[in-house]
Every structure is written in C-alpha cells, then in structure tokens.
Structure 1
Amino acid sequence: MTNKKLSSQAIRQSFLDYFHSQNHEIVASSSLIPTNDPTLLFTNAGMVQFKDVFLGIEKKPYSSAASAQRCIRAGGKHNDLERVGYTARHHTFFEMLGNFSFGAYFKREAIRFAWDFLTQHLHINPEKLWVTVYEKDQEAEDIWLKEMKIDPSRFSRCGDEENFWSMGPTGPCGPCTEIFYDHGSSIPGDPPGSGTALADGDRYIEIWNLVFMQYDRANDGTLTPLPKPAVDTGMGLERITAVMQGVQNNYDTDLFQPLIQAIARIADIDDFSHFSLRVIADHIRAACFLIADNIIPSNEGRGYVLRRIIRRALRHGNQLGLTEPFFYQLVAPLSECMGSAYPCLIKQQTHIADTLRREEMLFAETLQQGLKLFEQATQNLKGNVIPGETIFKLYDTYGFPADLTADIARERHLVMDTEGFLQAMSKQRERSRKTSHFTTDYLRQTESQQPTQFTGYETTKDTCQILAIYQDGQAIKMLEANNDASIVLDRTPFYAESGGQVGDQGTLKIDDHTLFEVLDTTKQGQCHIHRGRLQKGVLHVGETVLAQVDDNRRQTAVLNHTATHLLHHILRQVLGKHVIQKGSLVAPDRLRFDFSHGAPVTKEELHQIEQRVNAEIRANHHATIDITSPEDATKKGAMALFGEKYGNEVRVVHFGSSVELCGGTHADATGDIGLFQIINESGVAQGIRRIEAVTGNAALQYLDNQTHHFQQTIAQKDERIHQLEKNIEQLQEKMILVESQSLMLNAKKIGNIAVLATIVPSLDSKGLRLLVDDLKQKLKTAIVVLATIKDNKAYVVSGVTNDLVGHFDAKDILNHVMQAIDGKSGGRCDLAQGGGNRPEALAGALETLYVTIDKMSKM
C-alpha cells in the first residue's frame, strides 16, 4: 500500500470536506493578529480563535469545528525564525489543519476521525504510522490498541514533557496522543518515546497531535476533571503534504517548489538545493500574509518582526548575488500558488508588492554597507567571539540589525558577545536621555521657520531654496552623500501628508552631481519637511535645488483622493446622512475610507455604491475650486474631511454635486479616474465601517486577477463534476453487479432457456444495457428484457445470447413490448433498446413476454 500523491490544495480541501461530512462547522482561518489574546504576538495555532470557547467565556452556535488556520511562529515565545533554512520542517509561516470539539465528542471519536482520515481517505499505510500516548492515559491506550487495533509494536508511551499539554501554569490542560509518520530505515532516527539519542531523528515525523483537555490545574498543581472535556487537534499542512508527495523535506513540496524555482530564475542559478533559496521561499510566505493582514514594516511590535523577516530574506538574496530589489517579484508566484485558497493575496497583490519594494529600497544601502563593514570587523578577529562593541557599532552607527549580525555569525560558526552588546545599548540609552532636549530644539526650530509656500497645486516641478537641513534632530549646514536628513525649503511642489493623503516622493537635484531622494513629505507646523537620503554630492543650506515630484505616484494618489470625495458623497446618498468620515488613507495603490454606520454594508448596497461612483466618473465632472471662509463653505453645504485643519481660508472642491473642504490634490475631472472598484468592506470599531477600493489601472489589474481566479475556480469545479460523473459510473457498475446477482434468482426456465423480463427502477438506459450484457454472460443461454421508468417515460432493453441468435431476435422480442407501451425501438438481433409513452402498461407487457417467448421456442 503506497501513499496516493496529492497536491497541498487537495489535501487541505480533503481535510475540510472530511470533517464537514462528520458534522463539523468549517470555520475560516482567523487573522494572524489575535483578537482575543493580548499575550500573543501572532496566531500560532488553530485553537487560538477558539480559546474563549475552550475557557467557557464565549459560546458558539456549533459544538464541533474544523479549520485550516494561517499561523506565524516568529517573535515572542514561539519563534522559529532562527531555525528556518537549517531544518527540513521549521517555518515562520505555516498552515495548521485542526478539528475541535467543545463537548460534542472526546477521545474515542477524535482518535477514530484521525485514523480514518489518514488511512482511509489519504490511504496512508498503517504500517508507516507510529502512535504515542501519555503514559498515564490508559483510556487513550485502550482505544488505540483494543478498539482501533493498531499494531502494538508501533506504539509507545511518553511522559509529561512530550504528551501532556496546558495553556499555562494553571487552567485547562490534559494528555495528548500523537501520530508520527515513519520515513523508513534509510533515514536515521529511533521511535518516539524510545529515550535514545536518535529519538529526535528525522525518521519518525510527528504529523498530528490530538490534545484532550479534561482537567483544570490549580495553583498547587491539583488536577480537577473539567465538567465538559474538549478536543484540540493540529496537523501541519506542510508536513502532511511532504508525506503525501513522498519527500522528506517540506521545501520539496508544491507549497515551496514554485517559489524556489522562481527565486532561482531571478538569481539565474541551477542549484535548487541552495540554503538561501529555502530561507527566501519561507520568508516571502510570512511577509505577504502579514502585510495582507495590515501589518506594515516598522521598528516595534509586529511591524518589527515583519521587518526582520524581510531583511533576513534580503540578506540571503545577497548571498545569491541579488543586489537589486527582487523580493517583491515573488508576490505574484505566491499568489498563483495560494491565491485560490486565500483570495486576500490576489486582492492585495499590488499593495503587498509595493510595500515589499519600498522596504527593499530603504534597506538596500544599509545591507551593502553593513555586509562590507561586517567583513572588515571580523577579518582580523582573534578567536571566534564578535565583541559587543563591534555589534553595537554596526547597529547604531550603520543601522545594521543585530539579528542579521547573529544570522551571519551562526553561518560562520562565530559567537556573539551578547552581554557586551546589551551593555553598549544601555550606555547609548543613557546618552540619549541626557541629550533628548535636541529633539525638542528640532521641533522648535522647524516651527520657527517661515511657512513653506506650497506650489504643488499648479506644478510638480519647481526651483526652491534650502532653508534648513536637520540630521538626528540637529540643524546642520552641510549634508554629505549616503546620509539621511530632513530638509526645509522656502517653497515646494511636494504635498505633505495630510487629510489621509500620503506625502509625495521624488528628488531634489543640483545639476547631475547632487541628488537627494525624498522618501516622504510631512508637515511640522507650517513647514513642509522633506525626509530622505542624499544619494550623491553635497548639499548646503542656502543652495537652490530643482524639486521634482514623482509624477506617476502623485497622479495615482490624485485619482484615489478624487475617488474618496465621490465615495463619501455616494455613501451619504445610499446609506443616509448619518454617514460621516472617520478616517482615510489615500495612497498611490489604493484608498481606504472609514465612516460612521451602525451595520455591515450589504452586498446590494456595495454594488449600488460602486455603480453610482462609476456613474459619477463617466459623467466626467470637471473640478471647480473655490477659496472662501470655513463659515461660508459650511453654509454652502461643503463637507469637512477627517484630519484636515482649516485656517481663515479654505479650499472648497466641487465635483458635480459633491462639495467638500479639502487641501489635497485632485484630478482635473472625474473621468480621469477611469474605474472605481471596491475590494473590501469591514468593521473597524463599534459603529464604524471601512471600505477599501482601487482605481484606474489598479482596478483593472484587480478585475484581471479576479477573472483569473474565477476561471481557475470554474476549471476546478468542472474537474470535480467530471470526477463525480466518473464516480457515478463506477457506482452504477457496482450496483449492476449487486443487481445481477439478485435478478438471476428471478429468471424463469423455458425449456433450457433462462428468461428474465422485469423492471429495474434504479438504473438509466445506459445502466440497463450494461446489466443486460452482464446477465447474458452469467445466465449463459438466456433472453433478458429489462426496463425502467424515468420522467414518465418507459425505457426497455432486450438481449439474446449468441447461441440463441437465429431462432430469437432481440428486436422482435422488444417490439411486443413497444406495441403495448406505444413506443419505438431499434438495435441488433442480440441487443435492442426502445422507449414508450405509456409506462403504466409496462409491467403487463413484460409479464406477457414469458408466454410469447414460450410460444416462439416451440415454433
């Protein structure tokens, strides 16, 4: 018995289908960001979304459930980040297949479900499986050995550390039973529970853990039985896929190979076993799903974990010779692999890719410089310990993360002086505390600058003078290349982040020799702050620069900002005047709009909103801008946008009947937007809803992706229908075998001829023909006439064995029936079929055949 090779998609679906057939509620994967557990950084197991149910805090309308849960184990207590790439089975992102019981069933059923699914549905040979139980759990042991009758030689008992599970030091807990897959004697490793040095080898791999929560542990360690025991199981999709695809390494499965091959193509290498390929393939999965769940790279919390994952992948890209942005290019291959199971990847593909590309560009210079400095710092190293001061200098002076230093050190068998690094960090914090007044000075200095004249309504290119340069919170007179800084100009075409619209990006140039890349533009008081990095040359206060906004990025933001006005206007028409803007994000790749509304927006309402916004776009309303007082604007019905600050004069923006106070940048006419497409509607707080949308080319790309996804879904459905049709045919063939055995007993002997004429209600005409042929073979010398009734019409098939052809004709025999049921027929002398419109006469016509055939046999 060999494992039937299945795709990861088929395994995931088979698992959910199986438990649906066992009356489990199929629950969608929850977010990677836990909503019910502030102690968890990320969702790291299938049971997380049911934690309150297990604790009795929350009740569900179902008592058993199953899910395929997205999980992250990077950062916090559960952290596999450092192991990724070094082992065959550790990942930062993985999927947990699980079934759960909240009092509906317990050990017996949970064990039966697991064994049945593995051996009968995945067709895994039981001789390849090994089972462990908690050493004190006699009940589970008896179920396995006496009821499931597994081989006792493939069974072992384990102690608390391996087979007893708890949520924490107190609370729900209980024994567990684990199922392992045996990869065979060619792989080193002893059975689980053997207690040998090789017990953790790669031969026996845990694939399913069944936890039986039956006790409540008190502070003194006392275990009290729970009134309603529960079941929590987990099976890693990556591991079971490796088993079903006949490989020992998860990275050799269809979950990773398309990604590994895509990376190899980008890097132009042929060695698919390269260590760095595995790291990058793992990290792109984690990064994409985190961004899809609205995590963005940052320097704290979950955003910092995401940043670490991305930067570790970039460092391994550098190992492959990739010095240009490459990581974002893997979003599309991942969407192809997993988009059908997780449509959020397709919906947010552009946003995810843009986020990754920005992070790559920000880190590129730091990575190259840091790697070079690492080489210099370790070149003349005495011994194998990297001094803490060296690690700190790489981090503090050059921005090279300590975890990347640790990663490289591990590969080169070097040791980090962690204690020395922490001491250097502590000294730096003390210095920062003493000099924190510099930040206050910086804010005071920028606020005291003359207001920046904004020229970006009229142009995206302007000649400007540098009024101030700030670096690390201090004013400087000169800025050298490869340094970050904030620059204040006397005038600027760069829009500063405000009212939800993101700040502009672009460049400040002096001829071809000096180039400052503006990565963001913000406001401090009345000053526009241009934040970025000097790529080449030198800048001095007082110099004149050519300020050039990134036109493409500005234009897409302009379209999204204009669409936000239309959306606000239409929401008030469709949902009511209670709709008030509560927040927004206007980015180049998408828009997000938060508004007051007490209930989810229905599909019909969303469709209506989308249609009306697009009607406003097609109407091609031209923008009209008025400068007036806030009071006059309000009297004219202008809506104020969330986050905007208004002075004595305000800009009133008109697009048709949409009138709003807004200082942002807008399209000349609504027709420029081209297309508006809502991609998501959700709740962000009580009484506040959120709509996310895309416009223009991004909307077209979204629709293309949706079309591709639907085509894939249709193709999969067609394949499933085809498979069901084949299954029906196979079932019919089996039914025929069963029917023929019982029908043979009803055949009557006329001389030496076996004659059978009867109605078989369960078959169609094709089934009748197959059954007639089967009975002819079994009865040897025979005349068989079988009929069925479908849709108030009679169908009849007659057959004569070859030894009787010449004396009997199947067509003639059938004609006797056709005359009675007002039908027509055709065929050969050994097999004929026909149909008639008087099914009520069928039984009598078949009965008279015995007399007719008796007469014909004597002629």
Structure 2
Amino acid sequence: MKYMTTAEIREKYLKFFEEKGCKRMPSSSLIPDDPSLLLTSAGMVQFKPYFLHQKELDPQYIGTTTVQKCVRTNDIDNIGDARHLSFFEMLGNFSFGKYFKNEMCTWAYEFSTEVLGLPKERLYFTVFEDDDETIEIWKSLGVEDSHISRLGEDDNFWRAGPTGPCGPCSEIYFDQGPEVGCGSPDCAPGCDCDRFLEYWNCVFTQFDGQEDGTLAPLPSKNIDTGMGLERIAAIMQGVTNNYDTDVLRSLISVGERLSGKEYKTDADVDKSLRIISDHSRSVTFMIADGILPSNEGRGYVLRRLLRRAIQKAHTVGIEGPFLNEYVDEIVKLMGDVYPEIVDNRELIRRVILSEEERFGATLRQGQVYLAEAFEKLEGDTLSGEQAFTLHDTYGFPVEVTEEMCADRGVKVDMEGFERCMEAQRERARAANVKDAEAAWSTYGGVHADILKEVGATEFVGYDRMSASSGVRALIKEGQRVDSIAAGDTAEIVLGLTPFYAEMGGEVGDTGVIEGEGFKAEVVDTKAPEKGLTCHNVKVVEGELHVGDTVRAVVDELRRKRISRNHTCTHLLHAALRQVLGDHVKQAGSYVGPDRLRFDFTHFEGVTPEQLAEVERVANEQIMNAVPMSTYETSLDAARESGVTALFGEKYGDTVRVVEAGEFSRELCGGCHVANTAEIGFVKIVSESSVGANLRRIEAVTSFDALAYMNKVEEELKETAAELRVPLFDVSERTAANIATIKDFEAKRKANKKMAAEGSIVEYLENMVNVGYPLIVARIDGLDAGGLRNAWDILRGRMPEPGACVIGTINNDKPVLMAAATDEAVAAGFNAGNVIKAIAGNIKGGGGGKPTMAQAGGKDAAGIDAALDAARELLAK
C-alpha cells in the first residue's frame, strides 16, 4: 500500500469520477442555501434540488463529484480523539437517476483496490439486513462471504426523517489490525472499537417513506456517497489517528513551536494541540465563507470554536494572539484547493486577531457577572446553572470560575454544571437529527412545483422597462388558481418580465401589469425559488386567467433611483477598500429608491477623517462621469481577473461582472446606471457598528442627497439663530456652552460628595475599641459601590487602622458588608466569618475574604438584628 498525501487522494478521487462521466463540482459554501440548516455538514446538501428534480444536470454528465468542506459541532466534546473533527472534507459522488447500485459498488471497489491500492483482504463490507442485491454485487466483485456483514436499520438504512426519501446503504471498512481493537473474538465491522474503520458509505436512495411505515419506490433511484478524506488519508498514511495525517500533523507542529511542548509526550497536552489544530481550520474556512463572530446562529458557533481554541492554548502555555500562525499554515496547505481562504486571508487574520483581543473583555464580563452573583448569593455555593451561563454565554472557562469563587470562600456546584452541559449535548444531538429531517422537508411547495412545471422566468429588465408576456401561473392565498379578479391580492408568474425581483440587497420593482380589460398594481417583486419571478399584485380592475397575454410596465422613475443607489454601493465599497484596506468586504446591503445601506467588515470605528475621504473618493468617481459596463463570464475567469466577489455570496458557473472603469469591478446581478454621473452625488449620513467586526454606512444620492443637505442647512440656521451667532460659529459656541454645563455638573457632584462624607463621618462618634477601632452602623440607600465608598471614607477618618460592619436597605433589599484593614484582621477580625454569622438575620447568605465580605438577603426587617448580632459577636 503506497503512501499518499491528502492532496493526492483528493485529486485522484475527483479525476476518477470525472473519467466515469461525472461533473466535477466545487465545494459549496459552509453557509448552506437552505434556511433549515445552520452549516453545511454533508456533501449532498448542494444537490438536494437535483435529487428532487427541481434542477436538472447537463445531459452530457451522468452524475457529479465533489470534495465538500464541512463543519459539524454536535460532537464538540469528543473532538481531539482519534476520529472526531469539527472541520472535515467529504469526498462525494452523486447520481440523480442515471446509475445505481451495480455501478456504484463496482467503482467504489475499483477506486479502493486499484487506485488506492488497498489490500483486498483488509476490506470489509456491511449491507442492510435484507439487501440481497448489494450482497450479490459485492460477491460478484470477488468479496468473500466472511467479509460481508448484514446490519440493521440503525446502521445501514438512511432516512431523511420519519417520511420522505430513504434507502439502504452499504459501508466499506478497513481492518486496521487487532492491535488497535477491543480484543473481543466477536469484534467485527460495526464494533465501537477502532479496529474496523468505516471510510466509505454508499447510500442507495430508492424509497419514499410513507406515514404508515411502508416504502414506496421513488420514480428514479439515486446515489449519495461520502468518504471522509481525513479517514482515508489516515489509512493511506499508515496511521490510526486523523490528527497524525499530513495536514493536521503540520498544524500540530505549529502548536509545538508556539507552546514549546512536544507532541505525544503528555495526553492532556496532546488533546489540546489536536483541538487547536482542528478548530483553527474551522474558523479559517467559516470566516472565508462570510461568517462573522456573534452571539447567535453560525456566528455563535464560530465564536465558541475561537474561544475554545484560545482556552486550550492557555493550558499549554501559549499566551497572547497566536491563531494567525495557524491561518498562514492552513493557507499554505489548502489554499490551492480553496481559493476563498487566499482571497480573504487578510480579513480572516483581522477577524481572528480582533476576537483574540476581545476575549480579554469577555473575561472581564464574566467577572462582572460573578460579582453580581456573589451579591445575590444565598449560602456558600454558586449554582451549576450560573457556572454554565458563564461558560456558555460568556465563554468563561469553568476552571476560572472555580478559582475566583475559591477566593471568596464560595464553592461551585460542579454536578449541576455537568447536568447543564449534558442537557446542551442532548439538545445538540436532537438538533442534528432535526436538521437532517428539515433539510428535505423545506423543499417543495407551490413555488417549487411551478418552477418545475413552467421553468425559469426570463428577465429582460436590464434594457427594457416594459414587455409583453403570457401568464404562466397565478397564486392566491398560497394556492394555485386559474384566475384572479378585481380586489384580489395575488402573485402573477410570467414567461418573461422586465421586473427585477428582490435580490442581493436590491429591493424588487413596482409598476403595473395590464391586459385587455385588466389592470393590477405590482406592489413588490420576489423570487421565492431561484429563477422564478413572482409579481405580488393588487388587482384594480378586470379579470385575469392563466394563458392570457399581458403587458408588464416597471415604475421607471423608481427603478432609476434604485439603480443610482446600487451603483453607488459599488463605488463606496471600492472607496472603503482604498481608504481602510483590502480586508474590507461587503457583508450585506439594502438598496432602495430613497437610500442605501452598506455593511462591511472592519475592526474599529471609522474616523471622521476616513469617512470624509471615502465620501470624497466616491464623489470623485461620480464627477468624473465614468461609463459603466457589464458582461458575463465564467466564475474562474472572473476570479483570475481580480473581480471582487461579495463576502459570503454563492455564485453559479456563469457570473455577471459590473465595472466602473478601472475603479470598481464586482460580481453583481443587480440594476445599475449607464454612467456614474447619473448618481449626481453621494452623502454619507451615518456610520455605526452593527456587530463584532461589522460596520454600517447609510447614505443618500441624487435628489435625496440634495434634500438631506438642505435639511441640514435649515437645522444649522435655526440653531445659529437660537444661539445668536453667525452660521459657522455654531460649533464653537455649542462647545463653550457644553464646557460650562460640565463645570456646573462637576461642582454639583463635589458638593454632593462632601455632604455625604459629612453624614458618614457622624458614625465615627459611635466607634468602639475592641482591640482595634470598630464601627457598626446602618446607612440606608447605598448600593454595592456606595458601601465600599462608605468604608473608604470611614477608614480614612479612623484614628488608627480598624474595621466596620455596615447594613443598608436599598430598594427594599437588605445588604450587609464587613470590611477591615490588614491590622484589624491580624488583631482577630475576619469579615467572611462575621458575614456568615449574621446573614441569617436577613434570610440571606454570602461570604468573602477576611478583609472584605458581603451578603444579600430577603428580609429587610432583620437588618437591625443583624447589626446587633455583629456588635455582640465582636464585643466578645
């Protein structure tokens, strides 16, 4: 068996199935084109429309083949063992009715034994228990009976859900040898040990599962195969651990260099180094595909992986930002296969660095949460639920929580924490099953049926604002109908249309659709299925039937305003990259008739000076009257020419390029002006943050920009009149007034503080000496910070170092605090012990250090009793 690199296996697989007549397809984005899925976790995701015959493959091909990048985190706690990964590559081969079991089994056996050269005697095969057909195919290829096992539905029958597409599957295993097995004489494929490694799964989707449990044959039989690239690489490289393969081992070497630790000398260190190498690939590819860190959805998964990698790095002694060392290595190892990580390298590096620096702030957030939890603590144990919230919401390591609690004399309910963790794992496992079911269930419906029946709508609106067409379908209240009449709200599907359907941030067109005795107002245009345009209308008069001919007329003035704003987003994008750097990527937009909104990746606020320069650069292109041009080309050719692809966007094989001279060149399917001069001018009205590493610009153009500037001038004139200053002295006079107000406020606060100190000092008169000066007092209305301030004032006025016990009622909630100097503690005072002894009087609990402790309670009526108890205790 010859050693093969991961790259060699990947290319051999794709070439093999290309030569069989399959179309080589690129990996789809990790953001699936399916709202039911969070992340792309299988190779078949991009082919579901083909399986359901909503899209048809070019007849010259019999199937497709891919290497799909995948991210799956439902087993995140197992990552770092021999097999589990959050990022992996899945070798796939798919047929949509052109070939089935015989071809697939034959080719899988041929690739395994002849291309890879795997020893036949070490290959084992499992089939569904009653799938005699597949057993006979394997035997016809020379596989011995002893190497074929029948397994039940749990192992060898694939279902998308309780109903829907399903079918038997056959898995191929490689015998890694008894030395890595469980030692049981009954050990065989399907055993939980590592001896028999499943590396290829052939799914034969041939049934439609019914609600009564019966299996109806599908009209066409499909093939869905998957082979884990990392698993087969481990086999071909003679190792029994995915992390010992060439790519992942190279990443582990980065960890060895940064940490100074040697791999395979300590089990805990090994696992941390494996987790960091795995997570670094996930975050690199997720960011490259348009996912940014956030506290929900995909962004939350990304953030959790980032923080987990940072936590594990700390356990092996890696301090400060480090993950970009991994990014550089990943680009070197995989950039030739996945150009998106090369194109977005600077963005990936900046996002990761920002998150690494931000994690310090996260730790501080966790500390604030803990402080609040201590204030409300009843007893001396932090609940498992609170520790889990710190871990799950704030990314706060539980071991840090334990350490900080110990400093306060507080324990952590680790059993409760583990229960919460297990509940989360169960939710993740359930969600994974639910995602698989939903992946198929969301396809279909009235729009999908119409698309399949009548085909895609031809768009002619780049050059024409009106067109005649036949009515292909009508939809009313979610159902197909044969006719609509005056007063109806409906959807009209035409054979061709000048109306642009909402897409890529550009809003849909409005206008009218009219025919003989019929008129409808188009209030919006949507594309519920890719390629299908639906005109949302309100019927004004007459009646319309399927098959009638109508004339569709776009609101041209509105379209022109939208086109100006859309072209301007391209100019702003290019200007932002010129001023701020090439890491800037579009991350969303809104293009309407009255304004535009542009979201972009950046890692700090844009300064006023930078914003002014962006506006100047964009307006320079407008004033230069640059001609716009558009053309179609292949995606590969567009990339090679340096065209800007939108961050996170998914493209087909053929793309449309929109150019503004040499200044801007982007992939875009939207509507644009013929010359930049048509925009008039652009005015940026705001710049703000809309998330971590994500900024937003809002702007107006043309007559809307003029109206905005006129409004600003009007407001400025009114303000100047109120201040009684010339127009251009408004800012100077306003600044002077603000300074005066701040001075008055500072004096007010100082007077208030002096008055407060005077009242607190009165408690010095009741000070007693119990071997050290002691003040026991009730001062109502103080919060936690006020209590500490009171102690600071008293300590500064005591004749010698001493201690205090203060009780307060604030918003009907009692709080006790004990505090002391080091000298008073040496003389016998212990704040933590005092608080524990007296907190019961207010039905509360708490604790802390000998120098400071605090407790909250539920019974405000007991505050005086608690202070009396303190006096009695300390008098002894």
Q: TM-score, normalised by structure 1?
A: 0.50
Larger Rg: 1
For CA contacts below 8 A with separation 6 or more, give which structure has more relative contact order. Answer: 2
